Amino acid sequence: MNNSPSSSSNNNNENGDVNENLDKILDVIFDYNGNGDDELTLRRGNKLEVLSTDESISGSRGWWTGRLIDTNSVGIFPANFVANSQTNLRIINFNDLQIGETIGVGGFGHVFHGKFGDVDVAIKTAKSLASFCSISPTTTPDGASDAVQNTLIDSLLREARLFSNLKHRNIIQLFGVSPSSITKNLYLVMEYAHGGALSHLLQKRQCGLYPNVFIQYAKQIADGMQYLHEEACEHIIHRDLKCSNILILEEIHDSHDDNELLYKTLKITDFGLARIQLQSSNMSAAGTFAWMSPECIRNSEFSTKSDVWSFGVLLWECLTGELPYKGFDQMQVAFGIATNKYSLPIPSTCPDEFAQLMTSCWKALPDERPKFCDLLEQINQIIERSYMQSNEDSYQSLQNDWRLEIQDMFNELKEKEQEIRDREQAMYERSLEQNHQRLQLEKWEQQLHEREMHIVELELKLLMAANNQERLNHQTPKIQERSGRFMRSLLKGHSTTSANAQTVISSPTNFRHLISVCHNPPSLDHNSSPTIPPSSTSSSSPISCPMPSNSSITVLSNKSFNSPYERSFSSNSTPSTPNMSRLRTLTSQICY
């Protein structure tokens, strides 16, 4: 049994009529509401028969004429809203493959040189270890859930089917997929390019391509990209277009032979990053910054116009033989492109047609960039020019001058970039110093704020204490409730007169003098003060003095208030000191 791709193609040729009929029945993969009577309204899952793909019948490029199977409605519809319902991904037995040495690493995974039967093939390994479940869905690797497994399988198979549906001479062909339960991986069996990558050819030459080869290669790549953007069943954005992803199908014996290189076939490959156009917005960044458009770097917005930008960079590679922004820091390149400060230098002696072709791809606004169909027209016009058959030696000398000129431009750009970097470093250091000062100032402000708050707290306490004291001083005391009436008559020693009356001291009551009379009183010393016997506080105890036994004593009793010797005092009188001589006379009269 021959498992080679050639035998498979022979079988397909035998059944060509059947396959041609089957290709006319397509599946609707996106909903579309028709505008007007001539457009069909499509719903996902509907079957549609293609009646014509001629744009002269449909009236517009990218529109086909067809008939809905369910309703028999005939009209035009967008070609990228349908897909081939009979496309089946070919399964290749892993034992039929012979995996050789590694020849590269792509966006999809590692790439090996191998054999499928007698045919050289390129074998790519998928990065997902769960991809082998695409053929054996009952197996769940590492205990992964069915939901995760189905998501991985659907994503992988959709990309493989997308690749298998691409049929163009400048697109690498996918023969099939081969699952392996041993390695738990999925292998893509693809067409093998014997000439290697276009970037390897430029490295061997150490210069750019000659004008006639350059323009022919530009035409092939533009033709393949136009197919991806406008003619494929599902319009595709490559997102990583560069020389390393362009392969040369035939083997190259002499990389400097212009005639040999002129008739080589180029193949666009590495669709690990490719996406359908309707899914092109807000995707994660991919590819290399030097080939990416400004909007891709800024906003991760990929579109057909971002592929046009990358195509312009690819042309610059082929023309000069140099890597874009060689020796520059990747982040530096990304910032320069995103801010439109960087642009690849075009040598001053570069032909105007080539310069215009590249600069048209590098318009800042995506809408101002041409489509690949417009680029193809420009390229065909350039091919018709007779001066394309230039002298190889003179052109090689010109390319050497370009290399020197480009190197000088890059050096100048690096010097400016270094100056900018030094300024940025100085500004960064200054910003650090300012940040330190700001933090110190904030610390001081915080301390000052805390002190101010402490002072405010003390002032509030003092103010509250003063307010409390003032409130206590001005607070009216509580009045005790009266339980009786005022008894004025019970007051003792208090009389109330009119407001104008004067206070009068009353006469003494029960006032008396007690006098003791002694016989033969001793002589009194005039120099000494008379001695007055002490009086008793008791009114009933008489005052006595020593007297002889035969002496008669007359004592005034308490009852002799009305004696002629009684003396009274008024409020205006003052008792006088007793007269001693008078007292003697009085005493003698009484005794004798």
Is a pLDDT exceeding 90 seen at residue 487?
no
Architecture of domain 20-84: Roll (2.30)
Average pLDDT over residues 411-424: 81
With cut-offs at 50, 70 and 90, classify the pLDDT of residue 1.
Answer: very low
Share of the chain above pLDDT 70, in %: 68
Question: Domain limits of the chain?
Answer: 20-84, 94-191, 196-413
- What is the structure's pLDDT at 278? 46
- In DSSP notation, 414-475 reads HHHHHHHHHHHHHHHHHHHHHHHHHHHHHHHHHHHHHHHHHHHHHHHHHHHHHHHHHHHHTP
- What is the structure's pLDDT at 389? 56
Positive or negative: CA dihedral 146, 148, 152, 154: positive
124 annotated among ligand-binding-site residues: yes
With cut-offs at 50, 70 and 90, classify the pLDDT of residue 537.
Answer: very low
Structure token pair of residue 322: 């140099």
Architecture of domain 196-413: Orthogonal Bundle (1.10)
- Angstrom distances, CA of residue 99 to CA of 29, 189, 245, 389: 36, 10, 21, 43
The catalytic residues are: 240
- What is the structure's pLDDT at 558? 46
Q: What is the pLDDT of residues 182-204, one digit of tens each?
A: 777 778 889 999 999 999 999 99
Which backbone phi and psi does 180 adopt, to 5 degrees?
-135, 120
- What is the structure's pLDDT at 2? 43
Q: Evaluate if pTM is beyond 0.75.
A: no
Answer CATH for 94-191 from 3.30.70.1560, 3.30.70.2190, 3.30.540.10, 3.30.200.20: 3.30.200.20
